[in-house]
Amino acid sequence: MRFQAVVLDFGNTLVSWSEVESRQYVAALEDVFVGVLGPQTAFGERAHACRAALEVECAESMREFTVRDWTERMTTDLGADTRERLSADVEHAIREQLPLLCAVSERTQTTIAKLAERVPVGLLSNFTVGESIRAVLERDGVTSHLSALEVSGDHGIRKPHPALFEIVREQLGTPMEKTLMVGDEFWADIYGAYNAGLLTALTHEFVQGPSTDERAPHVSPDRILKSLDELLD
């Protein structure tokens, strides 16, 4: 498979995001709710359920839901001022917590640096608060190697929306059919990139997600990677 540019996902592609990090992340958000509203009941279960419901609602339009969407779903009976304060505090916690919970390993940093010497490298991630991802990449020395860096929350739409892939592809300056999307999620990364006309690679470095989906039986990744190092072959 020959490519002239690479677009990388973030979570479980550049950095590991396991159940451990997820629990710590939710615990930090619960601390915010407790600070504003007092003790919470079954917070973790409600947090996941509200996120899942928003993802279902936004699936067809591919709209990226906001922090405020989620906090309002979690707390339907609050006054406007309290809801505004809670949303602001949650967003601040996300910006603070993500850099504490994940990091790009030195090995991956080296891989990206070597890859960027050969072809333009971009990043395209689904996440509500783009600033938090940018903070991780800047701290770990990755940003300087990227020719494009886009996060769904900054655009109000999420992968697999084809417009996001086109935005990154334009910045990289390469044809769609010569641009490779690398990610861990079939629907967001592989199906989305396929529909946009990109080459695709599913990474199993951190998680081994499905490589097919019954909603798109005609789509499969062009390649499955055990490690991003294989991109250097």
Question: What is the residue extent of each domain of the chain?
Answer: 5-16+102-232, 19-101
Residues 179, 185, 186, CA angle at the centre, nearest 5°? 75
78 band by pLDDT with thresholds 50, 70 and 90: confident
The Cα–Cα gap between 94 and 104 comes to: 18
According to CATH, the topology of domain 5-16+102-232 is: Rossmann fold (3.40.50)
Per-residue model confidence as pLDDT tens digits over 150-187: 999 999 999 999 999 999 999 999 999 999 999 999 99
175 Cβ contact partners less than 8 Å away, ≥ 6 residues apart: 4
Mean pLDDT over 65-93 rounds to 93
- Reference 125, options 168, 68, 87; nearest CA is 168
pLDDT single digits (tens) 18-48? 999 999 999 999 999 999 999 999 999 999 9
Confidence of residue 233 (pLDDT cuts 50, 70, 90): confident
Decide: 152 and 125 in contact? Cβ < 8 Å.
yes
